[in-house]
Structure 1
Amino acid sequence: MIILIFFVVHWYLSLFVQTFYLHRYGAHKMFTMNRFWEKAFFLLTYMAQGSSFLSPRAYAVLHRMHHAFSDTERDPHSPHFSSNAFTMMWKTKEIYNNVLHNRTETERRFEGNYPLWPAIEKLGDTYYSRIGWGVVYALFYIQFATSWWMYLLLPIHFLMGPIHGAIVNWSGHKYGYQNFDNNDKSRNSLFFDFLTGGELFQNNHHKLPNRVNFGVKWWEVDPTWPVIWTLNKLNIIKLKEAKVKA
């Protein structure tokens, strides 16, 4: 039971920082926050993603590319130019690393207006950090696992961030329904996105990329939206007026 609780907590905490901080804040700036909270959520992102920490800068650049080139050959992670989810993930990893280490020149329109903390970004990308977090996960399992099959969950912990991204980009551009014709293959895969915290409303998001609530129809539930609404009420973040509509 402890292992399953640990897995669920890690899944949703890592998912939250990816959709709330990396995506809605880092890539789109759907809301603002002061410098203290920006650093606090940056640190939380590092701790929650652990061995699979994703740089807010590189994430923002790739995500902006994804919107600009959705489901074309220039899309960094379209499932329609990869034979399976694993080859798509590998392609994304290569583009991500090139952006992260400045091995490629990105278009100016994709740069800027994202959170920066060079020390944490550098630490999070080191083998010491990634392997260290992996060891922490493994030791926790050694201490509390009660059955051999539980160890099969460990690889998911190691690659949590990329796995979330793979689910969203593969399923969200192949399976489900469309509310809008976006001239791409984006889909809404679930009407209540309990799996990826609202990220599987890809069709809605590609039509309305700055809408903070990814659900559009009354029956589409984005679980991250109530959290964002609450953080706004607590004055931890500030929603932009044009983006407050639920």
Structure 2
Amino acid sequence: MSTTTTAPPVQKRLAWAPILYMGGLHVLALLALAPAFFSWSGLFLCLALHWLTGGIGICLVYHRLLTHRSFRLHPKWLEYPLTMIGMMASEGGAIGWVADHRRHHAHSDEEQDTHSPLQGFFWAHMGWFMVTDENSRHTDAYYKRWAPDLFRDPIHRWLDNTFILFPLGLFALLYVAGQYYGGLGMSWMIWGGFVRTIFVLHTTWLVNSASHIWGYRSHATRDQSTNLWWCAALTYGEGWHNNHHAFQTSARHGLDWWEVDPTYMAIQAMRLVGVASDVKLPKIRKNADGSLIETDVRPAVPPTTAATPQEVLAEVQETHV
């Protein structure tokens, strides 16, 4: 007689800190419905800071630089103030963000995926950060496994531990500056702070949810990632997500001429002024029927098997060869 044992189910707990913080931001953003708090300068700050904190801070710095190392910065210390801009988006510290995203690529569209679409749109969009378990908790062991390059850096560790000070500090700065500029403190804080943060969060999350459901696929990746034009428009090129999953270390996500990629344009501008180099790109050729042949920048995740942390990190390290 033989007996079999099964592993106990992973115990999930509500992550109250992000639930309360994100929930509070959503409630505070509703103050924008009051006409008394509207100003054109506040709306301008909302859009400008969406680009700065979301487009530069998250898309360019957190994602293409820190997670995938698709280019280098010169001098290296520029990485730290740019990371601070990313922290103002209220998406957490860079080490945790990078670790979660590398885990996503290693197990894309599987149960172990950080924000797997297998569990529904809401989970992939925002439900995933409301729950924590032993596999996703942001511990030193988790960081050492998925983001050892950043975890070894004492400055990045300090920034990760103090990240909450940066969005809160920006909210306070907007209020003080707005009061000085004609008594618009509440307007600037609500529109440039709360509304802008919610806008950044949901546009970022759309890449995890909508760009794994709707859109078209140019590459036969092992997941269900898609290219979604309206998501790309909202996320400065991040919505060309199937292209990204095919070439994860590529600095360019929009690979066809009409796939506009503002984040890559920003990287090109940085290269022209000498602060970016070693920009990783796939070389694209076309078959006679117009289909793409991809060469040079190999996929970071093998097309038929889930990648290990070592395989994901090997691709990151390749950018420094």
TM-score (norm 1): 0.79
**SS of structure 1 residue aligned to 2:234:** coil
Residue identity matched to 1:193: A
Residue aligning to 1:30 = 70
Change (3 A) 1:245 1:137: farther
Cα shift at 1:91: 1.7
Aligned match of 2:49? 10
- 1:40 offset after TM fit, Å? 2.7
Letter in 2 for 1:24: R
Which of 195, 203, 208 aligns to 2:242? It is 203
1:190 is aligned to 2:229: yes
Kept in 1, the 8 Å contact 2:229–2:240? The answer is yes
Match of 2:120 in 1: 82
SS in 1 for 2:59: helix
Output the amino acid matched with 1:18: I
Contact 2:219 2:242 in 1 (8 A): yes
Aligned residues of 1:173 and 1:187 also touching (Cα < 8 A): yes
Q: Partner of 2:274 in structure 1?
A: 235
Query: Relative to structure 1, is the Cα distance of residues 135 and 90 closer, same or farther in structure 2, using a 3 angstrom cutoff?
Result: farther
Q: Does 1:173 align with 2:212?
A: yes
Determine if the alignment matches structure 1 residue 67 to structure 2 residue 108: no
* Percent identity (aligned): 22
Cα distance in 2 between the residues matched to 1:40 and 1:146:
27
Deviation at 1:54, TM superposition (A): 2.4
- Secondary structure of 1:113's counterpart equals helix
Q: How many angstroms does 1:32 deviate by?
A: 1.1
2-structure distance, mates of 1:70, 1:23: 16
The one-letter code matched in structure 2 to 1:54 is G
**Residue 44 of structure 1 is aligned with which of 85, 88, 102?**
85
2:149 aligns with 113
**How many Å apart are 1:66 and its aligned residue?**
0.8
User: TM-score scaled to structure 2, two decimals?
Assistant: 0.62
Instruction: Give the Cα separation in 1 of the matches to 2:149 and 2:105.
Output: 16
Counterpart-to-counterpart distance in 2, 1:25 and 1:146: 34
Distance 1:17 1:151 in 2: 20
Output the aligned Cα RMSD. 3.4
2:93 equivalent to 1:55: yes
Bigger shift: 62-71 or 31-40? Answer: 31-40
Contact 1:76 1:95 in 2 (8 A): no
CA distance in 1, matches of 2:195, 2:116: 22
Q: Secondary structure at the match of 1:231?
A: helix
Q: CA deviation at 1:39?
A: 2.1
Question: Which residue type is aligned with residue 189 of structure 1?
Answer: L
Q: Report how far residue 134 of structure 1 moved.
A: 4.1
Q: Deviations over 1:117-138 (max 9, x none)?
A: 2332222136xx5545445556
The one-letter amino acid paired with 2:52 is L
Structure 1 residues 83, 243: CA separation in 2 closer, same or farther (over 3 Å shift)?
A: closer
Judged with a 3 Å threshold, the aligned counterparts in structure 2 of structure 1 residues 190 and 175 are, in CA distance, closer, same or farther, namely same
Q: 1:135-188: per-residue Cα shift (whole Å, max 9, x none)?
A: 5556778843999xx968864334455333312111111111110121211111
- Retained in 2: the 8 A contact 1:98–1:104? no
Amino acid at match of 1:43: M
Which structure has the larger Rg?
A: 2
Query: Once the 2 structures are TM-superposed, how far is the Cα of residue 100 of structure 1 from its aligned partner?
Result: 7.2
Match of 1:92 in 2: 129
Q: 1:28 to 1:165 in 2, by over 3 A?
A: same
* Structure 2 residue identity aligned to 1:219: W
1:3 and 1:145 in contact (8 A); partners too: no
- Select between 188-197 and 154-163 the one with higher mean Cα deviation: 154-163
Structure 1 unaligned residues grouped into runs of 5+: none
